Structure 1
Amino acid sequence: MPVRTDKLPVVILISGRGSNLQAILDQAAGGTLPIEIRAVISNVPGAYGLERARQAGIETQVLSHKGFADREAYDRALIELIDGYAPGLVVLAGFMRILTPAFVRHYARRLLNIHPSLLPRHRGLNTHARALEEGDAEHGASVHLVTEELDGGPVLIQARVPVHPGDDPDTLAARVLEQEHRLYPEAIRWFAAGRIDFDDEQVHLDGRPLTEPVQLQP
Protein backbone atom coordinates (compact mmCIF):
# COMPACT_ATOMS: atom_id res chain seq x y z
CA MET A 1 0.00 0.00 0.00
CA PRO A 2 1.54 3.34 -1.01
CA VAL A 3 2.26 5.87 1.72
CA ARG A 4 1.46 9.51 1.04
CA THR A 5 4.41 11.91 1.06
CA ASP A 6 2.42 15.02 0.14
CA LYS A 7 -0.19 16.80 2.24
CA LEU A 8 -3.77 15.60 2.01
CA PRO A 9 -6.13 18.40 0.84
CA VAL A 10 -9.03 18.74 3.28
CA VAL A 11 -12.26 20.75 3.52
CA ILE A 12 -13.89 21.03 6.95
CA LEU A 13 -17.60 21.69 7.50
CA ILE A 14 -18.84 23.28 10.73
CA SER A 15 -21.96 24.82 12.23
CA GLY A 16 -20.81 26.01 15.65
CA ARG A 17 -17.93 26.93 17.90
CA GLY A 18 -15.44 24.59 16.26
CA SER A 19 -13.57 23.04 19.18
CA ASN A 20 -12.76 19.91 17.16
CA LEU A 21 -11.77 22.19 14.29
CA GLN A 22 -9.33 23.90 16.64
CA ALA A 23 -7.74 20.60 17.60
CA ILE A 24 -7.23 19.82 13.90
CA LEU A 25 -5.89 23.31 13.18
CA ASP A 26 -3.41 23.07 16.05
CA GLN A 27 -1.98 19.75 14.95
CA ALA A 28 -1.81 20.81 11.32
CA ALA A 29 0.03 24.00 12.29
CA GLY A 30 2.36 22.04 14.57
CA GLY A 31 3.41 19.74 11.75
CA THR A 32 2.03 16.55 13.31
CA LEU A 33 -0.92 16.33 10.93
CA PRO A 34 0.17 16.36 7.27
CA ILE A 35 -2.89 17.99 5.74
CA GLU A 36 -3.61 21.13 3.77
CA ILE A 37 -6.87 22.65 5.02
CA ARG A 38 -8.11 24.38 1.90
CA ALA A 39 -11.31 25.79 3.37
CA VAL A 40 -13.62 25.81 6.37
CA ILE A 41 -17.27 26.07 5.35
CA SER A 42 -20.22 26.81 7.61
CA ASN A 43 -23.96 26.85 7.11
CA VAL A 44 -24.23 29.36 10.00
CA PRO A 45 -22.89 32.86 9.28
CA GLY A 46 -21.92 33.65 12.87
CA ALA A 47 -20.33 30.32 13.77
CA TYR A 48 -17.29 30.96 15.97
CA GLY A 49 -15.39 28.22 14.19
CA LEU A 50 -15.09 30.59 11.22
CA GLU A 51 -13.12 32.98 13.39
CA ARG A 52 -10.85 30.16 14.53
CA ALA A 53 -10.13 29.36 10.87
CA ARG A 54 -9.47 33.01 9.98
CA GLN A 55 -7.04 33.34 12.87
CA ALA A 56 -5.18 30.32 11.46
CA GLY A 57 -5.06 31.87 7.99
CA ILE A 58 -7.51 29.38 6.50
CA GLU A 59 -10.00 30.45 3.83
CA THR A 60 -13.61 30.48 5.04
CA GLN A 61 -16.93 30.28 3.26
CA VAL A 62 -20.52 30.61 4.45
CA LEU A 63 -23.31 28.83 2.64
CA SER A 64 -26.47 29.31 4.68
CA HIS A 65 -29.12 26.66 4.26
CA LYS A 66 -31.79 29.34 4.53
CA GLY A 67 -33.33 30.34 1.23
CA PHE A 68 -32.95 26.95 -0.42
CA ALA A 69 -36.09 25.14 -1.46
CA ASP A 70 -35.06 21.83 0.11
CA ARG A 71 -32.12 19.75 1.34
CA GLU A 72 -31.39 18.49 -2.13
CA ALA A 73 -30.97 22.01 -3.52
CA TYR A 74 -28.74 23.04 -0.63
CA ASP A 75 -26.57 19.96 -0.90
CA ARG A 76 -26.11 20.47 -4.64
CA ALA A 77 -24.83 23.99 -3.96
CA LEU A 78 -22.62 22.72 -1.15
CA ILE A 79 -21.09 20.05 -3.40
CA GLU A 80 -20.27 22.69 -5.99
CA LEU A 81 -18.62 24.86 -3.34
CA ILE A 82 -16.61 22.02 -1.81
CA ASP A 83 -15.48 20.62 -5.16
CA GLY A 84 -13.96 23.98 -6.02
CA TYR A 85 -11.28 23.13 -3.45
CA ALA A 86 -10.67 19.58 -4.79
CA PRO A 87 -10.43 17.89 -1.38
CA GLY A 88 -9.19 14.38 -0.84
CA LEU A 89 -11.14 14.28 2.42
CA VAL A 90 -14.21 16.12 3.71
CA VAL A 91 -14.40 16.39 7.50
CA LEU A 92 -17.63 17.04 9.38
CA ALA A 93 -16.69 18.85 12.59
CA GLY A 94 -19.99 19.70 14.20
CA PHE A 95 -21.85 20.23 10.93
CA MET A 96 -25.44 20.10 12.12
CA ARG A 97 -27.14 19.05 8.93
CA ILE A 98 -28.63 15.72 7.86
CA LEU A 99 -26.98 15.05 4.53
CA THR A 100 -28.84 13.83 1.48
CA PRO A 101 -28.00 10.45 -0.07
CA ALA A 102 -26.69 12.20 -3.18
CA PHE A 103 -24.21 14.21 -1.10
CA VAL A 104 -23.02 11.13 0.77
CA ARG A 105 -22.58 9.14 -2.43
CA HIS A 106 -20.63 11.98 -4.04
CA TYR A 107 -18.06 11.89 -1.22
CA ALA A 108 -18.18 8.15 -0.55
CA ARG A 109 -15.07 6.86 1.23
CA ARG A 110 -13.75 10.38 1.81
CA LEU A 111 -16.33 11.78 4.22
CA LEU A 112 -15.65 11.58 7.98
CA ASN A 113 -17.75 12.40 11.02
CA ILE A 114 -17.20 12.33 14.77
CA HIS A 115 -20.07 11.28 17.00
CA PRO A 116 -20.24 11.61 20.81
CA SER A 117 -21.01 8.01 21.69
CA LEU A 118 -19.58 4.54 21.38
CA LEU A 119 -21.35 3.65 18.16
CA PRO A 120 -23.51 1.77 17.44
CA ARG A 121 -24.89 2.82 20.84
CA HIS A 122 -26.76 6.11 21.03
CA ARG A 123 -27.03 7.20 17.44
CA GLY A 124 -28.56 10.61 16.94
CA LEU A 125 -28.87 13.42 19.49
CA ASN A 126 -28.65 13.82 23.29
CA THR A 127 -26.12 11.02 23.62
CA HIS A 128 -24.75 12.04 27.02
CA ALA A 129 -28.17 12.19 28.68
CA ARG A 130 -29.14 8.88 27.11
CA ALA A 131 -25.95 7.20 28.33
CA LEU A 132 -26.75 8.33 31.86
CA GLU A 133 -30.41 7.34 31.63
CA GLU A 134 -29.48 3.84 30.50
CA GLY A 135 -26.89 3.39 33.22
CA ASP A 136 -23.91 2.96 30.91
CA ALA A 137 -20.63 2.27 32.69
CA GLU A 138 -18.68 3.69 29.74
CA HIS A 139 -19.32 6.42 27.23
CA GLY A 140 -17.10 8.02 24.60
CA ALA A 141 -16.76 9.13 21.01
CA SER A 142 -16.40 7.47 17.60
CA VAL A 143 -15.01 8.55 14.24
CA HIS A 144 -16.80 6.91 11.35
CA LEU A 145 -17.11 7.02 7.61
CA VAL A 146 -20.36 8.64 6.60
CA THR A 147 -22.91 6.53 4.76
CA GLU A 148 -26.56 7.07 3.94
CA GLU A 149 -27.50 5.49 7.29
CA LEU A 150 -27.48 8.12 10.06
CA ASP A 151 -24.42 7.51 12.28
CA GLY A 152 -24.26 4.07 10.71
CA GLY A 153 -21.06 4.05 8.66
CA PRO A 154 -18.01 1.93 9.49
CA VAL A 155 -16.43 3.06 12.76
CA LEU A 156 -12.67 3.54 12.46
CA ILE A 157 -11.58 4.53 15.96
CA GLN A 158 -13.11 5.18 19.37
CA ALA A 159 -12.13 6.73 22.68
CA ARG A 160 -13.76 5.58 25.90
CA VAL A 161 -14.38 7.42 29.16
CA PRO A 162 -15.81 6.04 32.41
CA VAL A 163 -19.16 7.28 33.62
CA HIS A 164 -18.66 8.55 37.17
CA PRO A 165 -21.21 8.55 39.99
CA GLY A 166 -22.76 11.99 40.11
CA ASP A 167 -22.12 12.75 36.43
CA ASP A 168 -24.63 14.90 34.65
CA PRO A 169 -24.82 15.42 30.87
CA ASP A 170 -22.55 18.47 31.04
CA THR A 171 -19.74 16.88 33.06
CA LEU A 172 -19.87 13.75 30.92
CA ALA A 173 -19.89 15.80 27.71
CA ALA A 174 -16.81 17.76 28.83
CA ARG A 175 -14.87 14.56 29.49
CA VAL A 176 -15.90 13.10 26.14
CA LEU A 177 -14.95 16.29 24.32
CA GLU A 178 -11.39 16.08 25.64
CA GLN A 179 -11.10 12.69 23.97
CA GLU A 180 -12.70 13.93 20.76
CA HIS A 181 -9.85 16.42 20.43
CA ARG A 182 -7.39 13.51 20.48
CA LEU A 183 -9.51 11.16 18.43
CA TYR A 184 -10.38 13.17 15.34
CA PRO A 185 -6.84 14.25 14.38
CA GLU A 186 -5.69 10.64 14.73
CA ALA A 187 -8.30 9.37 12.28
CA ILE A 188 -7.48 12.14 9.82
CA ARG A 189 -3.79 11.29 10.19
CA TRP A 190 -4.53 7.76 8.98
CA PHE A 191 -6.04 9.14 5.78
CA ALA A 192 -3.20 11.62 5.33
CA ALA A 193 -0.61 8.85 5.68
CA GLY A 194 -2.40 6.59 3.19
CA ARG A 195 -3.12 3.98 5.85
CA ILE A 196 -6.81 3.67 4.95
CA ASP A 197 -7.96 1.89 1.81
CA PHE A 198 -10.93 -0.13 0.63
CA ASP A 199 -11.75 -3.48 -0.94
CA ASP A 200 -15.37 -3.43 -2.08
CA GLU A 201 -17.15 -2.25 1.09
CA GLN A 202 -14.46 -3.44 3.50
CA VAL A 203 -12.26 -0.83 5.17
CA HIS A 204 -8.59 -1.70 5.53
CA LEU A 205 -6.08 -0.18 7.93
CA ASP A 206 -2.44 -0.79 7.03
CA GLY A 207 -3.58 -3.40 4.50
CA ARG A 208 -5.62 -5.44 6.98
CA PRO A 209 -9.43 -5.56 7.25
CA LEU A 210 -10.67 -3.28 10.00
CA THR A 211 -13.20 -5.63 11.55
CA GLU A 212 -13.74 -3.59 14.72
CA PRO A 213 -12.87 -0.04 15.77
CA VAL A 214 -9.40 0.75 17.01
CA GLN A 215 -9.53 1.87 20.65
CA LEU A 216 -7.52 5.00 21.36
CA GLN A 217 -5.38 4.47 24.40
CA PRO A 218 -5.39 7.00 27.28
Structure 2
Amino acid sequence: METTTTNFNGAASNLHAAPTSKPPPPRLLNYTCDKVQRALEHLASIELLDLCNEAKVERCRAPRDLSSCGRAVESVLNTCGHASLCPECSQRCDNCPICRIPVSKNGNRLRLRLYYECIEAGLISKRCDDRFQEKEEAEQLLTADVERLYSLFDVAIENNLVSLICHCILLYPTDVTDVCMDESAVSSDPIVAFLLDEVVVKDWCKRIFRIIVAELHKICILTI
Protein backbone atom coordinates (compact mmCIF):
# COMPACT_ATOMS: atom_id res chain seq x y z
CA MET A 1 0.00 0.00 0.00
CA GLU A 2 1.49 3.33 -1.03
CA THR A 3 1.81 6.35 1.20
CA THR A 4 -0.34 9.39 0.43
CA THR A 5 1.91 12.43 0.23
CA THR A 6 0.34 14.91 -2.16
CA ASN A 7 -2.79 15.91 -0.27
CA PHE A 8 -1.10 17.38 2.78
CA ASN A 9 1.49 19.75 1.31
CA GLY A 10 4.26 17.32 2.08
CA ALA A 11 3.15 16.75 5.66
CA ALA A 12 2.79 13.00 5.29
CA SER A 13 6.39 12.48 4.28
CA ASN A 14 7.55 14.03 7.56
CA LEU A 15 5.46 11.79 9.77
CA HIS A 16 7.24 8.51 9.27
CA ALA A 17 9.44 9.49 12.17
CA ALA A 18 6.25 9.41 14.24
CA PRO A 19 6.10 9.84 18.00
CA THR A 20 8.83 7.87 19.71
CA SER A 21 8.32 8.90 23.32
CA LYS A 22 7.56 6.15 25.76
CA PRO A 23 3.82 5.81 26.42
CA PRO A 24 2.63 6.42 29.98
CA PRO A 25 2.59 3.40 32.28
CA PRO A 26 -0.68 1.48 32.46
CA ARG A 27 -3.14 3.02 34.89
CA LEU A 28 -4.87 1.08 37.63
CA LEU A 29 -8.32 0.44 36.22
CA ASN A 30 -11.50 -1.07 37.54
CA TYR A 31 -12.08 -3.78 34.95
CA THR A 32 -15.54 -4.47 36.35
CA CYS A 33 -16.60 -0.96 35.32
CA ASP A 34 -19.07 -0.96 32.43
CA LYS A 35 -17.24 1.86 30.62
CA VAL A 36 -13.96 -0.05 30.67
CA GLN A 37 -15.56 -3.29 29.55
CA ARG A 38 -17.49 -1.65 26.71
CA ALA A 39 -14.43 0.21 25.44
CA LEU A 40 -12.25 -2.91 25.48
CA GLU A 41 -14.96 -5.01 23.83
CA HIS A 42 -15.32 -2.39 21.11
CA LEU A 43 -11.56 -2.26 20.59
CA ALA A 44 -11.24 -6.05 20.53
CA SER A 45 -13.88 -6.44 17.83
CA ILE A 46 -12.98 -3.57 15.50
CA GLU A 47 -11.53 -3.94 12.00
CA LEU A 48 -8.40 -2.07 10.93
CA LEU A 49 -10.23 0.28 8.55
CA ASP A 50 -12.77 1.18 11.23
CA LEU A 51 -9.97 1.65 13.76
CA CYS A 52 -8.29 4.21 11.50
CA ASN A 53 -11.61 6.00 11.04
CA GLU A 54 -12.02 6.11 14.82
CA ALA A 55 -8.53 7.58 15.22
CA LYS A 56 -9.03 10.31 12.63
CA VAL A 57 -9.57 13.82 13.99
CA GLU A 58 -12.99 15.03 12.86
CA ARG A 59 -14.53 18.50 12.94
CA CYS A 60 -18.20 19.45 13.00
CA ARG A 61 -19.43 20.12 9.47
CA ALA A 62 -22.67 21.87 10.35
CA PRO A 63 -23.04 25.24 8.58
CA ARG A 64 -22.65 28.23 10.87
CA ASP A 65 -22.23 31.85 9.75
CA LEU A 66 -21.20 31.00 6.18
CA SER A 67 -18.68 28.40 7.34
CA SER A 68 -18.57 25.09 9.18
CA CYS A 69 -18.89 24.89 12.95
CA GLY A 70 -15.43 23.32 13.28
CA ARG A 71 -15.72 21.95 16.81
CA ALA A 72 -13.99 18.66 17.55
CA VAL A 73 -16.38 15.73 17.04
CA GLU A 74 -16.27 13.12 19.79
CA SER A 75 -19.32 11.11 18.74
CA VAL A 76 -20.95 9.58 15.68
CA LEU A 77 -24.57 9.83 14.64
CA ASN A 78 -26.53 6.71 15.53
CA THR A 79 -28.51 6.88 12.30
CA CYS A 80 -25.58 6.72 9.86
CA GLY A 81 -22.37 6.33 11.88
CA HIS A 82 -20.73 9.50 10.57
CA ALA A 83 -18.64 11.70 12.87
CA SER A 84 -20.02 14.89 11.38
CA LEU A 85 -21.79 16.86 14.12
CA CYS A 86 -20.93 18.14 17.59
CA PRO A 87 -23.57 17.66 20.33
CA GLU A 88 -24.93 21.20 19.96
CA CYS A 89 -25.28 21.04 16.18
CA SER A 90 -26.81 17.56 16.32
CA GLN A 91 -29.72 19.15 18.18
CA ARG A 92 -30.39 21.76 15.51
CA CYS A 93 -29.52 19.88 12.31
CA ASP A 94 -32.07 17.66 10.59
CA ASN A 95 -29.65 15.74 8.37
CA CYS A 96 -26.10 14.42 8.47
CA PRO A 97 -23.89 16.90 6.55
CA ILE A 98 -22.05 14.00 4.89
CA CYS A 99 -24.76 11.62 3.69
CA ARG A 100 -27.92 13.71 4.27
CA ILE A 101 -29.61 10.87 6.18
CA PRO A 102 -32.08 12.37 8.67
CA VAL A 103 -30.83 12.70 12.24
CA SER A 104 -32.85 10.71 14.75
CA LYS A 105 -35.39 12.79 16.64
CA ASN A 106 -35.91 10.23 19.39
CA GLY A 107 -33.56 8.84 22.00
CA ASN A 108 -29.81 9.26 21.82
CA ARG A 109 -28.70 10.89 18.61
CA LEU A 110 -25.01 10.31 19.28
CA ARG A 111 -22.70 7.61 20.57
CA LEU A 112 -19.08 8.09 21.58
CA ARG A 113 -16.32 7.27 19.15
CA LEU A 114 -13.93 4.55 20.29
CA TYR A 115 -11.06 6.93 21.03
CA TYR A 116 -13.26 8.96 23.37
CA GLU A 117 -14.76 5.80 24.85
CA CYS A 118 -11.22 4.90 25.90
CA ILE A 119 -10.69 8.36 27.38
CA GLU A 120 -13.91 8.16 29.39
CA ALA A 121 -12.94 4.70 30.61
CA GLY A 122 -9.52 5.95 31.71
CA LEU A 123 -7.69 3.80 29.14
CA ILE A 124 -6.24 6.89 27.43
CA SER A 125 -5.13 9.99 29.31
CA LYS A 126 -7.34 13.04 28.83
CA ARG A 127 -4.19 15.16 28.86
CA CYS A 128 -3.07 13.49 25.62
CA ASP A 129 -6.28 14.52 23.89
CA ASP A 130 -6.03 18.07 25.24
CA ARG A 131 -2.57 18.27 23.68
CA PHE A 132 -3.89 17.05 20.32
CA GLN A 133 -6.69 19.64 20.36
CA GLU A 134 -4.08 22.40 20.46
CA LYS A 135 -2.66 21.37 17.08
CA GLU A 136 -3.89 23.65 14.30
CA GLU A 137 -1.48 23.39 11.38
CA ALA A 138 -2.24 20.74 8.75
CA GLU A 139 0.93 18.77 9.48
CA GLN A 140 0.29 18.89 13.22
CA LEU A 141 -3.30 17.74 12.75
CA LEU A 142 -2.10 14.78 10.73
CA THR A 143 0.40 14.01 13.47
CA ALA A 144 -2.53 14.00 15.91
CA ASP A 145 -4.32 11.42 13.75
CA VAL A 146 -1.25 9.18 13.90
CA GLU A 147 -0.77 9.65 17.64
CA ARG A 148 -4.41 8.81 18.30
CA LEU A 149 -4.04 5.61 16.28
CA TYR A 150 -0.92 4.77 18.28
CA SER A 151 -2.83 5.42 21.51
CA LEU A 152 -5.44 2.85 20.50
CA PHE A 153 -2.71 0.35 19.61
CA ASP A 154 -1.10 1.02 23.00
CA VAL A 155 -4.40 0.31 24.78
CA ALA A 156 -4.66 -2.98 22.90
CA ILE A 157 -1.14 -4.03 23.92
CA GLU A 158 -1.52 -2.88 27.54
CA ASN A 159 -4.74 -4.88 27.91
CA ASN A 160 -3.57 -8.05 26.16
CA LEU A 161 -5.74 -7.54 23.08
CA VAL A 162 -3.00 -9.12 21.02
CA SER A 163 -5.56 -10.52 18.59
CA LEU A 164 -6.29 -6.98 17.38
CA ILE A 165 -2.65 -6.36 16.55
CA CYS A 166 -2.18 -9.80 15.00
CA HIS A 167 -5.36 -9.40 12.95
CA CYS A 168 -4.27 -6.03 11.59
CA ILE A 169 -0.54 -6.63 11.26
CA LEU A 170 1.48 -9.71 10.35
CA LEU A 171 5.03 -9.64 11.70
CA TYR A 172 7.45 -11.85 9.84
CA PRO A 173 9.63 -13.88 12.23
CA THR A 174 12.79 -12.94 10.33
CA ASP A 175 12.38 -9.21 10.82
CA VAL A 176 10.20 -7.63 13.49
CA THR A 177 10.04 -4.39 11.52
CA ASP A 178 8.67 -6.05 8.38
CA VAL A 179 4.94 -5.43 8.39
CA CYS A 180 2.27 -6.85 6.11
CA MET A 181 -0.92 -4.83 6.38
CA ASP A 182 -4.42 -6.13 5.80
CA GLU A 183 -4.71 -5.54 2.05
CA SER A 184 -8.50 -5.60 2.20
CA ALA A 185 -8.44 -2.40 4.25
CA VAL A 186 -8.59 0.48 1.76
CA SER A 187 -10.11 3.94 1.89
CA SER A 188 -10.74 6.82 -0.49
CA ASP A 189 -10.29 9.22 2.42
CA PRO A 190 -6.68 10.50 2.11
CA ILE A 191 -6.11 10.73 5.87
CA VAL A 192 -7.47 7.25 6.57
CA ALA A 193 -5.47 5.94 3.60
CA PHE A 194 -2.37 7.46 5.17
CA LEU A 195 -3.13 5.84 8.54
CA LEU A 196 -3.51 2.51 6.74
CA ASP A 197 -0.06 2.83 5.21
CA GLU A 198 2.28 0.13 6.48
CA VAL A 199 5.04 2.65 7.24
CA VAL A 200 2.86 4.31 9.87
CA VAL A 201 2.30 0.98 11.60
CA LYS A 202 5.96 0.03 11.20
CA ASP A 203 6.93 3.11 13.18
CA TRP A 204 4.60 2.08 16.00
CA CYS A 205 6.05 -1.45 15.96
CA LYS A 206 9.59 -0.07 16.08
CA ARG A 207 8.68 2.14 19.02
CA ILE A 208 7.16 -0.76 20.94
CA PHE A 209 10.15 -3.01 20.30
CA ARG A 210 12.54 -0.26 21.40
CA ILE A 211 10.60 0.03 24.65
CA ILE A 212 10.66 -3.75 25.14
CA VAL A 213 14.40 -3.92 24.47
CA ALA A 214 15.03 -1.05 26.90
CA GLU A 215 13.00 -2.80 29.61
CA LEU A 216 14.83 -6.08 29.02
CA HIS A 217 18.13 -4.23 29.20
CA LYS A 218 17.15 -2.83 32.61
CA ILE A 219 16.25 -6.33 33.81
CA CYS A 220 19.58 -7.70 32.61
CA ILE A 221 21.48 -4.96 34.45
CA LEU A 222 19.57 -5.67 37.67
CA THR A 223 20.27 -9.40 37.48
CA ILE A 224 24.01 -9.07 36.81
TM-score of Structure 1 vs Structure 2, range by shorter chain: under 0.3
**Structure ranking higher in helix proportion:** 2
Q: Which has the larger radius of gyration?
A: 2
TM value normalised by structure 2: 0.25
TM-score, structure 1 as length reference: 0.25
**More strand, by proportion:** 1
